[in-house]
Structure formats: C-alpha cells, structure tokens
Amino acid sequence: MPDHFQRADQVLDLGGQASASGSLQKVYPYPGREDLLIKVVRPNFVAERWTGLRGAIKRLRRLGALTGASRVIMEHLALRNAGVKPGRHVQEFVGLVETTQGVGVVVRAVRGRDGRYAETLRTIVKEGRFGPDIEAMLDEFEAWLLSTPIIVGDLHMGNVVLGFDGEHGERLVLIDGMGEKNFVPLNTWFPVLNRANTRDRIRRMRRIVNAKRAAASPR
C-alpha cells in the first residue's frame, strides 16, 4: 500500500528555487510531483508586514503567520461539507507537509493550455488578452462562487488564474485570498452577507480589470 504520510523524522527539503512568489508566500514545485505545489509563508513576512499598531494586533493571533493556511483548510472543508469537489473554480487543497521552510500547504498546480503554470488575470489583462471569452469565464466564475459557501476575503487579479485541464476545460480558478478576514465573522454566520460580499469583490475587480484594459495595449 502506498505510504501517504510523512514519518516523524521526515522533513521535505525545499532547497530549490521557488517557482512563484507572492507578497505573503513562496510557491515551490513539490519535488517529484509535477501536479502539486507547496506554499510556505515567507520567513520574514511577520517582521516586514505586521508592523505598527495593526501589526501588533495581528501578532497576537493564535495561529500567527499560519492564519492564511488555516483559511485555505477551512474553505476546503466548507466546500466538501456542501458536497462540492474543489478544482473547478477554486484551487484544490491537498494537504499539509513539514518542510525545511516550515509548514507547507500542498495544493494542486493549475496549468494553462500550454502546460505551463497558469497565468494570472493580471498578466492577461496587462498583455491586452482579456477579451469577451475571458469576460464570459468571469461571469461563470462569479456564478459558481455564489452557488457555494466559499468566502472570498481578498480578491485581486493576481489571485485568479486561467487554467485548463481535461476534466474542466478552460476556466478561471481562485488560487489565493479565500477565507473570512473580518474580525466579526459575518460572512461565516450569514450566507446572504457572504454572497453580497462576493458580488461586491467581483464588481470591484471588474472595475479594475476594465480600467487596466483601457490602458493595456493589445498584442
């Protein structure tokens, strides 16, 4: 039987180069697994970003810099509880792994038609490739989010990618920014407020997409 779990003395070595990096996390290919990525929090994230009074309050969080990882897990469980299989419009959470860089969140890598890691909406818009086809995909993405219990805490063009695979075809996928961020978890308590929040965040992102489209030069 395959052994799916790390033994207590095993730590995955992430000595190699990260494949992508956001402001919070470093994203590594899972060694030996083309279909998986590992996300670890940047080592200096708390020192650099949690500064001032707001930062001091954030440092009191029980999960500290792992708060983001807990949101990914919570949203995965909320989808599973609703009978929704992830992967269509939200990246698939696979598990946690102990690494040389700390706790790693393992997710399914989303790839584009060319087989490379999927491009973000930011890149597509910047390069003037956001056309009616992707606009229609954004409508579908919004409708899907609204039909599930998922909470969208931080929606921007860098957190949405254009993915393609045999099971789902081409579609937009949320790869980050999921989960409740409010101190009083209103979206968790009230689905109607959650849907209003999702609509509002998509509307704001559309506004930015349209402003950037106007400025972008089509290829």
Per CB under 6 A, contacts with ligand ATP among 151-190 are 158-159, 161, 175-176
* CA 214/CA 147 separation, integer angstroms: 31
Nearer to Mg ion, 125 or 131 (CB): 125
Q: What is the nearest approach in angstroms of ligand ATP to the Cβ of residue 56?
A: 20
Taking each helix axis from N to C end, the angle separating 191-215 and 132-146, rounded to the nearest 10 degrees, works out to: 170
CA distance 126 to 134: 14
Cβ-closest residue to ligand ATP?
Answer: 22
CA distance linking residue 161 with residue 89, whole number of Å = 9
What dihedral do alpha carbons 138, 157, 35, 23 form, nearest 10°?
A: -160
Q: How far is the CB of 118 from ligand ATP (least distance, A)?
A: 5
Among residues 84 and 93, whose Cβ is nearest to ligand ATP? 93
Contact letters for Mg ion, residues 147-166 (x by CB under 5 A): ------------x-------
Binding positions for ligand ATP, 70-129, rule CB under 6 A: 91, 107, 109-110, 117-118, 120
Amino acid at 213: R
Bridge partners, 103 (sequence order): 98
> Among candidates 133, 117, 93, 106, which has minimal Cα distance to 165?
117
If one asks whether residue 176 binds Mg ion (CB under 5 A), the answer comes out as yes
Which stretches of the chain bind ligand ATP, using CB under 6 A? 20, 22-25, 27, 37, 39, 91, 107, 109-110, 117-118, 120, 158-159, 161, 175-176
